[in-house]
Structure 1
Amino acid sequence: MAEAAMGGRKHTFRTVAEAFIRMKSPEWSNDKHAQQWTNTLATYAFPKLGDLPIESIDSQHVLSVLQPVWTTKLETARRLQQRVALVMGYAIASRLREGPNPGTWKGNLEFALTSHKKMKAKNPDVVKHHEAWPWAEMGAFVAELHTRVAQSARALEFTIYTCARTNNIIEAEWSEIDLDAAVWTIPAAKMKARKEHRVPLSRQALTVLKGQRGVDERYVFATAKCKPLSNMAMLTLLERMGHVGLTVHGFRSSFRDWVSESTDIDPISADPVAAEVALAHVQGDATERAYQRGDMFAKRVKQMQTWGDYCATPPKVAKLRRKVAA
């Protein structure tokens, strides 16, 4: 089983994790799930556990991976703990080591780490999973983004103009985009709700796309090896820019806050229902959704263009704020 999957190689945490991911990949509906697993483990677990023999890993090793992020990156830490536990469980089931599982929470890590549930109950603002850039300062951020030439910078700019999720951006293909009609049609298979989603392309978004012509035949945003960008590329860019604490997903919140709070936009652009559709959020119960067959595309064309114009407005602040690590 695991022996064959690893081709007789040394049983380290890294090789066992890679075998587990290969074994599980066929059941994951999204092809990027395997990449997310690999990125999470490569970023946080492999530096400390990767080359250790799988049978020698104990709870202290796992804690050395989790403690640096446990109270500062709650969602990342939670997924990391679960993934380490699953890899260790796979090793035990494959008889590559004996139990108990050093990655499990109940009866093990719960005695050495703070409870996220209790942290949130005591202070709901203890963490913002998708911290957003203030919408009133979007012009300043986009202006700074224009000074960057990396593919990740163009992808992030396109993310801001389209309000799309990270996976949709890095998986965007030219075949999905109609430049003449100014629309990006994301297939249902790529959407979280498994429903086709049309994205109106503002003039600013089209400018980004036109600048991407010739980079890759298939993917809009690609690496030098003609592969999609890593799902960590834009987050890494934010960290390099000095914006610690921001997330890519948070720019979707920036857009939503702009719709709700700005007093300088027209009624169509300020339509909250259209904004929810733009974000591809599922609205209401099954009965309510049955009556909402349209996607409010005409309204959203106006809304996304107003948003694009707003983001492209020259900054009104002299310096961008910098998020600093706690």
Structure 2
Amino acid sequence: MALTDTGIRAAKPREREYKLADSGGLYLLVTPSGGRLWRLKYRFLGIERKLALGKYPAMTLGEARKAAHAAKVSMSGGDDPSAAKRRERVARKLAAGITFAAVSQEYVEKAEREGRSPATITKLRWAREWLLPAIGHRPISEVEPHELLAVLKQQENKGNLETARRTRAFASRVFRYAVATARAKTDPAALLLGAVAAPQPKNLAAIIDAKRVGDLLRAIDAYSGNFTTRYALALSPHVFVRPGELRQAEWSEIDFDAAIWRIPAARMKQRREHVVPLSRQSLAIFAAARELTCHGRYVFPAMGKQDRPLSENTVTAALRRMGFAADEMTAHGFRAMASTLLNESGKWSSDAIERALSHRDTDQIRAVYHRGAHWKERVAMAQWWSDHLDTLREGATILPFANAAR
């Protein structure tokens, strides 16, 4: 007897699952938990098989009969309905993994596993968010250059040229990753290189005049804000590392006996460990900070949050409060200050200065050789530089540096 909706609704669960037959091999399987599942029993190439069609009441009786009929039509054409359903399931799974959203997320997670810095990961996620509304749902192999260009032009029209540059670069990395993993054939973002206006490079403001450097150092000495910020400010000109490397300094990295600061590769822009020789003045600043923050992880913890470092804008904000404008000095400007004055001194080799700044050597063979070179010179340079800063702070008459190299 054929099933009816009334009979289906009246079916109660039993201790064991049981079947309610309809016709043509279609039946309803009632489970002990109360589930009601449509199944089709059929034979293909002489072998009995079963095909799951759906659940009642999401799939009505009429819909189940239509699905059973469609399966039989497919079977009459020589196709096994169960095999076809498995293929569809695999296709859906693959399709979910080949959208731009899926592949770009996979790329970001790969970057995290490779130990890229938190700041880099944040930038990758930021660029990804720009692209998701436009192409996130699209199979990555089908994305066309004009789809990406629309996003970049939107950014360009708002004057966000650097954002457009970073967005295109991120997209290109994702497409190259998709090509490498056999999910795309080409990188459409590569075709857009130069398609939008390039951002004009801006030199970060830095004080390089000797007299003005003295003014800055005296202002730091007189800074009356948070003591952690003051120590970060005081140390910045002596070690001239990148602002992020400074504010995230941890006590485990400081070796007072060896007078070095060993910054791990994970925090370095160039992804290689950087060792900073510490002058007597630098050690004194670290020692003063240790009296107040040694019980925590960070040398310069955020105010009231020992488990977090200073925020990235803290030093710059302090410079503004001290009266140094954005076009005069930035937190990054301490590096330019040291680079300029050290080079002008004529006392130190450019290689030693570049190593102190942790700049990448474009010649890879030379870079390997120079990795451990110039250490003695860097140690001497660190002490000379701190002594020179003391001289500038005291406001002594500064004679022009000799041009002769050391």
- With the shorter chain as reference, the TM-score category is 0.5 to 0.7
Asked if 1:33 corresponds to 2:119, the answer is yes
Partner of 1:17: none
Partner of 1:138: 213
- 1:150-208 deviations in whole A, cap 9, x for unaligned? 22231122121111111211221111111122111112222222222111111111111
Asked if 1:260 corresponds to 2:343, the answer is yes
Partner of 1:76: none
- Equivalent of 1:231 in 312, 315, 319: 312
Give the superposed CA RMSD. Answer: 3.3
Partner of 2:380: 302
Task: Name the aligned partner's letter for residue 316 of structure 1.
Answer: G
- Equivalent of 1:110 in 134, 150, 156: 156
* Aligned residue pairs, count: 237
Task: Name the aligned partner's letter for residue 338 of structure 2.
Answer: F
Partner of 2:236: 159
TM-score, normalised to structure 1, is 0.63
| Structure 2: gaps spanning 5 or more residues | 1-103, 138-146, 163-196, 397-406
Q: Which range is displaced more, 247-256 or 231-240?
A: 231-240
- 1:56-91 deviations in whole A, cap 9, x for unaligned? xxxxxxxxxxxxxxxxxxxxxxx9xx94x6435335
| Structure 1: gaps spanning 5 or more residues | 1-19, 38-78, 318-326
Answer whether contact 1:259 1:271 (CA < 8 A) is retained.
no
Task: Name the aligned partner's letter for residue 361 of structure 2.
Answer: Q
Shift of the alpha carbon at 1:287?
2.0
Distance, in Å, in 1 between the alignment partners of 2:220 and 2:300 is 16
Answer whether contact 1:161 1:205 (CA < 8 A) is retained.
yes
Alignment of 1:186-205 (within 5 A): 186-205=263-282
Relative to its length, the structure with more strand (as a share) is: 2
Determine helix, strand or coil for the equivalent of 2:305: coil
Which 4+ runs in 1 deviate beyond 6 A? none
Shift in alpha-carbon separation, 1:139–1:295, aligned structure 2, 3 A: farther
Partner of 1:242: 323
Distance, in Å, in 2 between the alignment partners of 1:243 and 1:274 is 30
Partner of 1:59: none
Shift in alpha-carbon separation, 1:279–1:115, aligned structure 2, 3 A: closer
TM-score, normalised to structure 2, is 0.51
Task: Name the aligned partner's letter for residue 147 of structure 1.
Answer: A
User: Which of the two has higher C-alpha Rg?
Assistant: 2
Partner of 1:174: 251
- 1:30-50 deviations in whole A, cap 9, x for unaligned? 45327966xxxxxxxxxxxxx
Distance, in Å, in 1 between the alignment partners of 2:333 and 2:217 is 14
Shift in alpha-carbon separation, 1:111–1:225, aligned structure 2, 3 A: closer
Distance, in Å, in 1 between the alignment partners of 2:319 and 2:388 is 21
Determine helix, strand or coil for the equivalent of 1:312: helix
- Equivalent of 1:219 in 264, 287, 298: 298
Partner of 2:368: 290
